[in-house]
C-alpha cells in the first residue's frame, strides 16, 4: 500500500525524527519523514538500532516515495547520524548542507514532527505494547495511510 498519492509529491521542507517504542517489551525505533507543505508522512522505518544505517534507510525510502524529488530543506533533531545520512543519501556537498540542513529541537522548528510522534505514541499507548514486528508494521502502514488520507489531527500539526 502506497502511503502517499501522486498528487501529494513532497517538495520543499522535510522534517525527520525518530521515536522509541516497544514490541513485546523490547525497544525499537520508529523513524519518520514528514513533509511540511503537503502535510504527509512521506516515509517511515522501524529499527532495533539507533544508527547511521537506520537514518539512511528512512531517507532512501523518502526519496523513493517522492519519486526522486529531493527537498530544498531538511529539519532534524540533534542526532549526529542525520548530517552524515543526508550527505550520503541526498548528496548535498558541505556548503549546501550547511544552508539547507537545520538542526532544531522539539520546541523549535521541528515541533511539527514532534507532534506527529506524540500522536503516534498516543495511539500506541492504547495497545500497551505490540506483540510482534509484523503487527507494528501493519499498524504503522495503516496509521500513516489514514493519516495522509484523512489528515489525522491536521489542525494540531499546522
Structural domains in the chain, sorted by start: 10-150 (3.30.420.10)
Q: Is the pLDDT of residue 9 over 80?
A: no
Q: What was the pLDDT predicted at 158?
A: 45
How far apart are alpha carbons 52 and 54 in whole angstroms?
5
Q: What was the pLDDT predicted at 149?
A: 87
Q: Is the pLDDT of residue 93 over 80?
A: yes
Over range 72-93, report the average pLDDT.
93
pTM for this model (two decimals): 0.86
Q: Which three cell numbers mark 17?
A: 525524527
Over range 124-135, report the average pLDDT.
86
Q: Is the pLDDT of residue 88 over 60?
A: yes
Over range 118-142, report the average pLDDT.
89
Q: What was the pLDDT predicted at 123?
A: 87
Q: What was the pLDDT predicted at 8?
A: 55
Q: Which residues of 13-41 are buried (b: 16+ CB within 10 A; e: fewer)?
A: bbbbbbbebebeeeebbbbbbbbbebbbb
Q: Is the pLDDT of residue 1 over 60?
A: no
Q: What was the pLDDT predicted at 19?
A: 94
92-100 long-range contacts, CB within 8 A, separation 24+: 100/71, 100/72, 100/73, 100/74
Q: What was the pLDDT predicted at 151?
A: 63
Q: What was the pLDDT predicted at 52?
A: 97
Amino acid at each position: 500500500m502506497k502511503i502517499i498519492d501522486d498528487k501529494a509529491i513532497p517538495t520543499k521542507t522535510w522534517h525527520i525524527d525518530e521515536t522509541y517504542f516497544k514490541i513485546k517489551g523490547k525497544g525499537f525505533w520508529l523513524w519518520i519523514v514528514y513533509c511540511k507543505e503537503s502535510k504527509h508522512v512521506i516515509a517511515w522505518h522501524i529499527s532495533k538500532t539507533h544508527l547511521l544505517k537506520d537514518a539512511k534507510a528512512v531517507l532512501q525510502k523518502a526519496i523513493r516515495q517522492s519519486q526522486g524529488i529531493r527537498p530544498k530543506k531538511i529539519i532534524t533533531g540533534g542526532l549526529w547520524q542525520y548530517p552524515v545520512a543526508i550527505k550520503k543519501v541526498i548528496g548535498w556537498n558541505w556548503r549546501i548542507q550547511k544552508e539547507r540542513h537545520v538542526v532544531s529541537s522539539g520546541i523549535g522548528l521541528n515541533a511539527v514532527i514532534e507532534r506527529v510522534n506524540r500522536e503516534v505514541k498516543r495511539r500506541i499507548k492504547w495497545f500497551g505494547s505490540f506483540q510482534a514486528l509484523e503487527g507494528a508494521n501493519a499498524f504503522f502502514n495503516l496509521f500513516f495511510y489514514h493519516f495522509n488520507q484523512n489528515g489525522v489531527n491536521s489542525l494540531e500539526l499546522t
